[in-house]
Amino acid sequence: MPSPVIDAVQDHIALESAIGGYEAEARKEAAIERTYSACARLVGGKVDEIALVENATRAWDMAFYALAAGFGAGDRILTAETEYASNVIAYLQVTQRTGVAIEPAPNDADGALDVDGALDVDALAAMIDERVKLIAVTHVPTNGGLVNPAAEIGSVARAAGIPHLLDACQLAGQISLDVGAIGCDVLTATGRKYLRGPRGTGFLWVRRDLVEKLEPPFLDLHAAEWTCRDRYTVRADAKRFETWEGNVAAKIGLGVAVDYALDWGIDAIEERIGALADRL
């Protein structure tokens, strides 16, 4: 973590020790809200489309299980051959529960034997039919250096009217992100990798006109309001995917980390990473 991130986290822990957790959170409300705006700037989204969660896996799970809530036998989810293991386990669980089919699109011609190729977009497009309910792909897999063609995948999804869930865990802070250009509907990321934020931080971006169509797999008094004895109302923004309790110091640190990366410039960071990789 850069020094400003460490300082922000330590300062808030010191403040909590001096005046208590609730009071410290209230005093630092502006710094917490700054994290939402920083994450929105990072991905090219709106502040009310951002949810802060404890890690990228939880962000992805909250979105995926909300999207999959209405899926049933005969429905199809399209993904890539180079998919993250935690995501695959979630796919398998939904398959066992509902009978939905999980189908990876083949790699392009560059993929052979133990060398991963990028997802073949033409092959993906050829797989589309009325039973496809979701396209879910990892933009940059955990290892190997592959970058999947997320924008081209987004074009296929938009043309077919199919939600596009993008796992950008390895991408955020390393390569520029623009959800509008990518054409995804949901994006998830972590703070602890290329953004160099605290561990135990992640965020979720959900396109505004999709937010209210998705009910999270679980709710609490932050995500929803208990309106009368037997009813509740889910909040209208992406914070419906959050929980009330959280690590405030880490949330503030995430915002500082995102601002730090943006101040350097993601394009400059990408160029530096590329130069180091070429040298290696």
Closest CA to 66 of 163, 194, 161, 178: 163
Question: Which residues are CB-contacts of 148 (< 8 A; sequence separation ≥ 6)?
Answer: 80, 82, 118, 119, 137, 138, 139, 140, 141
pTM for the model stands at 0.93
> Has residue 115 got a pLDDT over 70?
no
Q: Which domains does the chain have, with CATH numbers?
A: 3-279 (3.40.640.10)
Instruction: Work out the average pLDDT over 87-93.
Output: 96
CB 186 within 8 A of CB 164: yes
> Has residue 113 got a pLDDT over 50?
no
Residue-wise pLDDT for 132-146, tens only, equals 999 999 999 887 778
> Has residue 230 got a pLDDT over 90?
yes
Residue-wise pLDDT for 158-186, tens only, equals 999 999 999 999 999 999 999 999 999 99
